[in-house]
Structure 1
Amino acid sequence: MGPDHSPSHPPVKDITVQTIRVAIVDDVPEIREVLNLYVESLSGLELVGEAINGAEALELVARTEPDVVLMDLQMPVLDGIEATVALRESYPELTVIALTTFVDHYYVTGALRAGVHGYLLKNSSPSQVDTAIRAALEGRTLIDRRALASLVASMNAADYPQGDPWAQLSEDEQSIVKLVCWGKTDQEIADQLDSSLPSMKRQLNSIYNTLGINTRLQILVEAGRYNFPIFD
């Protein structure tokens, strides 16, 4: 998996026939051990390596080419948010899922803007981790309800920024944004819009370019920041 700086989102993978390669990044040995046991206990997952900080994570991904990185956020040397930014720039097809103890909106917003595809807490069960991994690879997202509540509360308290990016989107693109916020998969969106999947993905990438983002979760963040009329 060589570096690629073009904007993109992870392609939908056929996870029914492919072993999912997972890397773990956390500075606490006990947490790495628990996550290691999680991965080993779940069918279809393979642990390819561990790192103790964001800097090691960059080396680990380059060396082992995982499909998914389970990323802690607060670590020495290079934290998880900074590491996610670097990984998403070099490997836009890589799926990164935040796995942390923090629900403060500072961490939630920072992780989403960095480009994570899911946000879980460290007390998540093996089945929740498995669900988040498979959801992300299917083009869906999973965010812990406590983290989501913190994010919504911070949005409600904030002043809306200047500008109207909603008006810059075409009618079809606005429909896609609404459906993404409603949790629809890429295929479900294409079906609902009576469009082909490749055509829908081209429109999704156009939305990313317009909003200056590169993941579905970031659409949710921007929808909250600018008060997009997603329920109209």
Structure 2
Amino acid sequence: MFKIAIADDHQLVAKAIAGLIDKMEQYEVMYEVENGKQLIHYFELNMIPNIVLLDINMPELDGYETALWLKNNHPNVKILALSMYDKEEAIIGMLRNGAKGYLLKGCRPSELKLALDSVIEKGFYYSEYVTHKLVKNLHAEKTANPIEQLGLNSREKDFILYACSEMTYHEIADKMCVSPRTIDGYREQVFQKMNVKTRVGIVLEAVRLGLFHP
């Protein structure tokens, strides 16, 4: 019999999920908690399940923080995220922090059973929806271009490279064959697009994005 713990601050949802799981063969709900802090308390009492069904949005240690704690302290416990959030950031954040699967709360009971079985047998469960999101994100990461991401034009890119040098703004204006006022315009646009407020900020962000190599 595999033991399940449910961490969800919505008690009605937790009770409903527990009721479904208790009707499944091979699975038994050990306990339900409302946040990560309570879950850790049970773990410290050595009440350690095989799988934790983990919500994201909880008070006192949310799903991300709790998943990371489990990953670092009890890596053998399988984490199955169960959330209303369907955004890529939420899915990837939970998987990065150790979740072995991600379910939406609107899923069918049959998918919940499939996910539990898969996590036990294979060590992970990725639904078609999650797989699509992951593939889309990985593709975006591979093709991401910082120039395109920031929406920089060629003149702004040139300005950034000159701003990373020891040249003054007046010298940059001469170099780019424009007026100092035009350089002021480039600077303000770059500040906004790079989300920085100083020339030092431009340099640091340019280095981080690989636009400039000191």
Give me the TM-score of the superposition, normalised by structure 1. Answer: 0.58
* Contact kept in structure 1, 2:6 and 2:52, CA below 8 Å: yes
* Contact kept in structure 1, 2:78 and 2:123, CA below 8 Å: no
Distance across 2 between alignment mates of 1:142 and 1:130: 11
Give yes or no for the alignment of 1:76 onto 2:59. yes
* Structure whose CA Rg is larger: 2
Residue 157 of structure 1 and its aligned partner are, at CA, apart by 2.3
* Contact kept in structure 1, 2:2 and 2:50, CA below 8 Å: yes
- Runs of 4+ in structure 1 deviating by more than 3 angstroms, as ranges, are none
Residue 113 of structure 1 and its aligned partner are, at CA, apart by 0.7
Distance across 2 between alignment mates of 1:105 and 1:89: 23
Letter in 2 for 1:97: L
CA-to-aligned-CA distance 1:187-228 (integer Å, 9 cap, x gap): xxxxxxxxxxxxxxxxxxxxxxxxxxxxxxxxxxxxxxxxxx
* Contact kept in structure 2, 1:103 and 1:150, CA below 8 Å: no
Percent identity between matched residues is 27
CA-to-aligned-CA distance 1:4-58 (integer Å, 9 cap, x gap): xxxxxxxxxxxxxxx0100001011121011111111111111111111111121
Worse-matched range after superposition: 57-66 or 36-45: 57-66
Query: Counterpart of 1:144?
Result: 127
* Contact kept in structure 1, 2:80 and 2:101, CA below 8 Å: yes
Structure (1 or 2) with the greater helix fraction: 2
Distance across 2 between alignment mates of 1:125 and 1:144: 12
Letter in 2 for 1:45: Y
CA-to-aligned-CA distance 1:68-117 (integer Å, 9 cap, x gap): 10001111121111101101111111111011111211111111111111
Letter in 2 for 1:30: L
Letter in 1 for 2:53: L
Aligned length: 143
Say what the alpha-carbon RMSD is for the aligned residues. 1.7
Distance across 1 between alignment mates of 2:38 and 2:111: 26
Give yes or no for the alignment of 1:155 onto 2:138. yes
Give yes or no for the alignment of 1:113 onto 2:87. no
Letter in 1 for 2:99: V
Pairing 1:120-135 to 2, within 5 Å after superposition: 120-135=103-118
Residue 140 of structure 1 and its aligned partner are, at CA, apart by 4.0
Distance across 1 between alignment mates of 2:104 and 2:71: 21
Query: Counterpart of 2:210?
Result: none
Query: Counterpart of 1:58?
Result: 40
Distance across 1 between alignment mates of 2:64 and 2:127: 17
Unaligned runs of 5+ in 2: 145-214
Q: 1:39 aligns with which of 11, 21, 26?
A: 21
Worse-matched range after superposition: 56-65 or 23-32: 56-65
Instruction: Select the structure with the greater relative contact order (CA < 8 A; seq sep ≥ 6).
Output: 1
